[in-house]
A = this chain, B = another copy of it.
């Protein structure tokens, strides 16, 4: 956005060495959607036989490409698939033009790639409310289709970034019954992003063979504890999209009970989600909030999100202040069931509060020392039931305000 931002202090040292996924190829192009100096469109093509599952934002203002993906995701045929993504413009709140732009891009891509239109998925991320210059994407489709490479994941991860300070990827190779199965994914997002930017996007690929219905069921389930378990500012984008594609090229068929594979996929989804938090706008701390002992999973999640989204909790963490009174406040205001005298709060391994009051052995100096860490864990036991939830967030700093308020679009 014309403003140079240094890499998040929470970023990993480097982009990982992702396994190549047989049946998946990537390419990128510079279409000058908004930025004029770097690739801003990525294409991923998947081989015939690929199944695709997806989860999407629940915003009532869903973007045109999300609505289009939601229609297509329930269909399947064996002809292969493609994903085309642009950064710089979200094509959200763009009226009838938005749907026309999606139709134009996906139709053109389908023709060039020899796929049915229903198998071309798209995402757009960037400014809301401005007409997507889709003809610029169309003009690059031929180039994109001719430069596809199985090694293009890192470039693809870069092309879909907006205000991200680093490209995000995660992958692993599993051994299942003596065969190798690979999973690799990319993601973008760093909050509901500055200054007009919006969106968390993630695309995960595997060479496993998985039926569409099973893959969809697992991806929906895993999203709850991965992509839906992160929050930077509580602001939900109009365009959030997670697509998971299985090419079947490894020949290894995955069934419902193949724990190794599903654990592996869950882990990759979680790593990608956590990378987004690690790039949270202005973030200097990575925070895990665990709530146990709630009477329902929903209550546990409501408490955890109330803590993770509280500006007062998040500013206290930024200030390295073990201000557990604000955690009590956030639990109190959440609307979910809690009983003051049954609550237990840990900051790291330090018991700070129990039985309705500061723990007798609590020494604030120790907790203040712990708060200097980059990764902070807050653990709350509600003491009423057996259900739990974990969410991840970052702290709330001057950097967030600077990114979102000081810069005029």
Indicate whether A323 sits within 8 Å of B93 (C-beta atoms), given known contacts A329-B236, A340-B61: no
Indicate whether A128 sits within 8 Å of B341 (C-beta atoms), given known contacts A233-B312, A404-B311: no
Do B338 and A94 touch (CB < 8 A)? no
Query: Across the interface, which residues of B come within 8 angstroms of A330, CB to CB?
Result: 235
Report Cα–Cα, A334/B315, bound state, in Å. Answer: 23
Interface centre among A57, A58, A234 (most CB of B within 10 A): A234
Do A356 and B234 touch (CB < 8 A)? no
Closest Cβ of chain B to A406, distance in Å, is 6
Do A310 and B60 touch (CB < 8 A)? no
Report Cα–Cα, A357/B93, bound state, in Å. Answer: 5
Query: Across the interface, which residues of B come within 8 angstroms of A60, CB to CB?
Result: 331-332, 334, 337-340
Do B356 and A96 touch (CB < 8 A)? yes
Closest Cβ of chain B to A334, distance in Å, is 8
Do B315 and A400 touch (CB < 8 A)? yes
Report Cα–Cα, A92/B93, bound state, in Å. Answer: 45
Query: Across the interface, which residues of B come within 8 angstroms of A31, CB to CB?
Result: none
Say yes or no: is A321 at the interface (Cβ < 8 Å to chain B): yes
Closest Cβ of chain B to A311, distance in Å, is 4
Mask, A390-409, CB within 8 Å of B = 1, is 00000111101110111111
Do B319 and A61 touch (CB < 8 A)? no
Report Cα–Cα, A332/B57, bound state, in Å. Answer: 10
Do B357 and A325 touch (CB < 8 A)? no
Indicate whether A316 sits within 8 Å of B404 (C-beta atoms), given known contacts A236-B332, A329-B59: yes
| Identical copies in the complex | 2
Query: Across the interface, which residues of B come within 8 angstroms of A398, CB to CB?
Result: 398, 401-402, 405
Do B396 and A401 touch (CB < 8 A)? yes
Mask, A6-43, CB within 8 Å of B = 1, is 00000000000000000000000000000000000000
Closest Cβ of chain B to A290, distance in Å, is 19
Quick check: which of A133-141, A191-199, A252-260, A266-274 contacts chain B, the rest being far away? A191-199
Say yes or no: is A328 at the interface (Cβ < 8 Å to chain B): yes
Report Cα–Cα, A304/B197, bound state, in Å. Answer: 22
Do B95 and A315 touch (CB < 8 A)? no
Do B61 and A234 touch (CB < 8 A)? no
Do A92 and B325 touch (CB < 8 A)? yes
Query: Across the interface, which residues of B come within 8 angstroms of A395, CB to CB?
Result: 405
Say yes or no: is A262 at the interface (Cβ < 8 Å to chain B): no
Do B318 and A128 touch (CB < 8 A)? no
Interface centre among A92, A97, A324, A408 (most CB of B within 10 A): A408
Mask, A336-356, CB within 8 Å of B = 1, is 011111000000000001011
Say yes or no: is A207 at the interface (Cβ < 8 Å to chain B): no
Q: From residue 193 to 213 of chain A, which have CB atoms closer than 8 A to chain B?
A: 195-196, 198
Query: Across the interface, which residues of B come within 8 angstroms of A236, CB to CB?
Result: 329, 332-333
Interface centre among A59, A330, A335 (most CB of B within 10 A): A59
Task: Give 30 A-B contacts (CB < 8 Å), ordered by A residue.
Answer: A57-B332, A60-B331, A60-B332, A60-B340, A61-B328, A62-B332, A92-B325, A92-B328, A95-B341, A95-B357, A128-B325, A128-B328, A129-B324, A129-B358, A192-B326, A195-B316, A233-B310, A233-B312, A235-B311, A235-B329, A236-B333, A237-B329, A311-B396, A315-B404, A319-B404, A320-B408, A321-B409, A323-B409, A396-B401, A398-B398
